[in-house]
Chain A
């Protein structure tokens, strides 16, 4: 059966009895506040592809990201995330709009994935589908975890089951391989706030990196110190696996990680010593010599460039982590550029950096960006 998805965009997340969202169901709308530059005035912005979530500490912004990741991570080979524990409690529902191609027929679909209850937290009537989401079909996936295995409950429907099967069948495929099934499926790349970047110290071998291959949800909490989780391993792996992809990746990394004028370049890995080197004005050094900030940028961009499918949601908690203000600006500009070029990519991020709120300037239209944001307020949380 031919199956593909395009125009994948989150619509809303509803949480109840999850994290700090206790008193009543809370819905985060991912609809944009500002349409891309050039959009006719009477046209609504639609779902965001660049979305800022802000809140004081402990008010639930990380919970929101964990929930998005957690719902998709139920599809992983081994379910993980906050909903993988059957005793976790709470209910969550994520609604996503996409264009689904099924056996030659293209339809705008709202997919609801929920867990924690048989009934959905939010129901989509036909009228609501059409008016609020410009969709015609409601795909439903009701998930639960029993003895470590994800189960589809009977409230799911045929379209939901179709997506579920497709996701499971594509597990492990190369996500960026042109024509692969995984390339047309959705994925979530989650960078939590406790991410660490430590150069690997273990024995270097040519081996598949820990997060290699398609998964509906990836969590990138560390770059090193073990070899399998390091960017060094990723680059060495690509050196042996796909020279063309590596060349393209290095070009993009060098463009985004280093400031113009620093004269730094990540070189192709040394096949003999399985070592990636960086050319700098002071000589050739191993990748480990990069600063914490540079490795942080490398981690973000390398994972996005290698693990994205055509329908990718990138979640970054505390996006400014490890970065000097100038680098934060460069990283943010880099992501905006990537989003403008990549139709199926969305970025949802949190920050405590008040300068970034001003830089984001949600109300200013920019080419290719549907900007939106949500403020979790203390008095209303």
Chain B
């Protein structure tokens, strides 16, 4: 029975009054896409909000959850899966077979992580991207790209940016380890390096040179982290008896999703609104229902809201 000042600012009071689950997400576009995936009917139980201070990204979401949650246990955060590496728990992302995972760290209480590298990977995995690439061409090129050809391009891009993502995870993991020991980290290796029209081996050499120049970690350490992550994913898939197709989907799950989309758009010289198209192919799908159900279950409101009746 709190006074307003015991709850927080007006928005925190409003959120608490709503008696709904409040899920903070990294950006306004993320909220729009999540509503698109879940359908607006989820608003009866849950709302997606962006943090009130600090702009966009993981850190403002975590800060907002930490600020609001003591007075309102229905406040959660939903951040990109890649953020797990920043918090030193990339294994949870690599091992995730659910749609979300938790941190199990007291300072990340209420923060949920997407099973994918980021929100765009959901569009890549569950949107009809190959069909979109086939159709989204100049009239004169209509029919020149088959779905199979488009799929090959997607697979190729996913391979490249899966490697880029593993490098980023490795650098973030080493950073986290260094900071935990009171040392300076090497900084994140951004996937966008691989967007340039240069052979990827050349870019890899640049990364190697940069690491050597900075001297904050070694190429061997970085390579070992990448290898460890890759083998971890492979081992899990082998244990479950999954085939090559499953590995391809794992790459799409863990690749730098924004970069994959950028690369494919760049290759087609198109500036279409792919996100909206991909979202529309997910809306109303089984995945959308599953996403809603799991999110509601993870925020523990299924029983409380009486949805099971």
Query: Chain A residues in contact with chain B, CB under 8 A?
Result: 26-29, 31, 33-34, 52, 54-56, 354, 357-358, 360-363, 372-381
Q: Which residues of B sit under 8 angstroms from A55, Cβ to Cβ?
A: 17
With A29-B3, A31-B3, A33-B4 as contacts: A377 and B16 at CB distance below 8 Å:
yes
In the docked arrangement, what's the CA distance between A54 and B12, Å? 13
CA distance A33 to B11 in the complex (A): 15
Q: Using CB atoms, name the residue of chain B closest to A378.
A: B19
**Are A54 and B17 closer than 8 Å at their CB atoms?**
yes
B7 interfacial by beta-carbon distance below 8 Å: yes
Other-chain contact of B2, A357, A362, A375, A378 (Cβ < 8 Å): A375
> By the criterion CB–CB under 8 Å, are A374 and B2 in contact?
yes
Whether B5 is near chain A, meaning CB under 8 Å from some CB there, is: yes
Among B2, B3, B5, B19, the residue within 8 A (CB) of A56 is B19
**Range of interface residues on B (Cβ < 8 Å):** 10 to 19
User: Which residues of chain B come closer than 8 Å to A379, judged between CB atoms?
Assistant: 73
- Asked if B276 lies at the interface with its beta carbon under 8 angstroms from chain A, I say no
Known pairs A361-B10, A363-B9; A374 contacts B3 (CB<8 A): yes
* Pairs across A and B, CB under 8 Å, 23 listed: A27-B1, A33-B3, A33-B4, A33-B5, A54-B17, A56-B19, A354-B14, A354-B18, A357-B13, A362-B5, A363-B5, A363-B9, A372-B4, A373-B13, A374-B2, A374-B3, A375-B4, A375-B13, A375-B16, A376-B1, A377-B16, A379-B73, A380-B2
Q: Which 5 A-B pairs have the closest CB atoms?
A: A373-B4, A33-B5, A357-B14, A54-B17, A362-B4
- The CA of A28 and the CA of B3, in the complex, are separated in Å by 8
Tell me the B1-41 residues at the A interface (CB within 8 Å): 1-5, 7, 9-11, 13-14, 16-19
Q: In this complex, what residue of A is CB-closest to B74?
A: A379
Given A360-B10, A361-B10, A354 contacting B17 (CB threshold 8 A)? yes
Task: Kindly list chain B residues whose C-beta atoms are within 8 Å of the C-beta of A31.
Answer: 3
Contacts of B7 in A (CB 8 A): 375
Instruction: Write out the residue numbers on chain B whose beta carbons fall within 8 Å of the beta carbon of A29.
Output: 3
Name the residue of chain A whose CB is nearest to the CB of B72.
A377
A375: chain B residues within 8 A (beta carbon) = 1-4, 7, 13, 16-17
A177–B72 alpha-carbon span in the complex (Å): 49
**Does the CB pair B1–A377 fall under 8 Å?**
yes
Q: Which of A26, A28, A362, A378 contacts B13 (CB 8 A)?
A: A362
The distance in angstroms between the C-alpha atoms of A372 and B5, with both chains bound, is: 8
B14 touches A26 (CB 8 A): no
Residues in B112-127 with C-beta less than 8 Å from chain A: none
